[in-house]
Chain A
Amino acid sequence: SYELTQPPTLSVSPGQTASITCSGDKLGDKYVFWYQQKPGQPPVLVIYQDTERPSGIPERFSGSNSGNTATLTISGTQAMDEADYYCQAWDSATGVFGGGTKLTVL
């Protein structure tokens, strides 16, 4: 079965850039979606189709996908961005999530 790998944790200082990676075999041939989840809440989509930002998502969120790695970048990270982030892709019509990355802003 297809697997997506994320670093479990990432720490960043406020105002700095956070880059969260998601790796999978030939991931660049698929489209990647990114979700943000805060404690006790359902996930919220922050990036779709590799690079697109839904309405209402701040411009500091951006995405890229090439080769075997997709990246979610948060520029000028704010305290409110502290959350778990999950990448997701489709493999043979099956939804696959990465294991998630806990982003700490300190």
Chain B
Amino acid sequence: QVQLQESGPGLVKPSETLSLVCSVSGDSISGYYWTWIRQPPGKGLEWIGYIHYSGNTNYNPSLESRVSISVDMSKNQFSLRLSSVTAADTAVYYCARDKVIPVAGNYFEYWGQGTLVTVSS
């Protein structure tokens, strides 16, 4: 069974960079798309972006200037970096593995449990 686990600091200061890692077990990173999604407390879901195992990325235009997603095949992990954070970036951050449906597009098949990141001084 595929399992994903997010890890990283739970508290980040304003203007600094948020960094999270998603560790994948039960399958290889190779061959799939990997996604980050976030959810502010009490609010809805926001798609952040995805990375293909080959390294190709696609980001939400609203975050594109601040976000970077990378993959480390040797560690079976992928990572999220979000720069210049503000309180508005406080959220539960989820990592997920995509399932590709030709023509229809990807859906998010496996999810981590999520990790809360609070932006505060």
Asked if A and B bind, the verdict is yes
Nearest-Cβ distance from residue A7 to partner chain B, whole angstroms: 13
Query: In the complex, what distance in Å separates the CA atom of A41 from the CA atom of B58?
Result: 26
Interface residues of B in 65-111 (CB under 8 A from A): 94, 96, 101, 103-109, 111
Chain B residues bordering chain A, tally (CB within 8 A): 25
Chain A residues bordering chain B, tally (CB within 8 A): 25
Most chain A CB within 10 A, of B37, B103, B104, B111, is at B104
Nearest-Cβ distance from residue B4 to partner chain A, whole angstroms: 9
Query: A94 near B58 (CB under 8 angstroms)?
Result: yes
B44 at the interface (CB under 8 A from A): yes
A99 at the interface (CB under 8 A from B): yes
Query: In the complex, what distance in Å separates the CA atom of A95 from the CA atom of B50?
Result: 9
Give the number of A-B contacts (CB < 8 Å).
Answer: 58
Interface residues of A in 20-52 (CB under 8 A from B): 31, 33, 35, 37, 41-45, 48-50
Query: B58 near A45 (CB under 8 angstroms)?
Result: no
Nearest-Cβ distance from residue A66 to partner chain B, whole angstroms: 16
A positions within 8 Å CB-CB of B = 1, 31, 33, 35, 37, 41-45, 48-50, 86, 88-90, 93-100
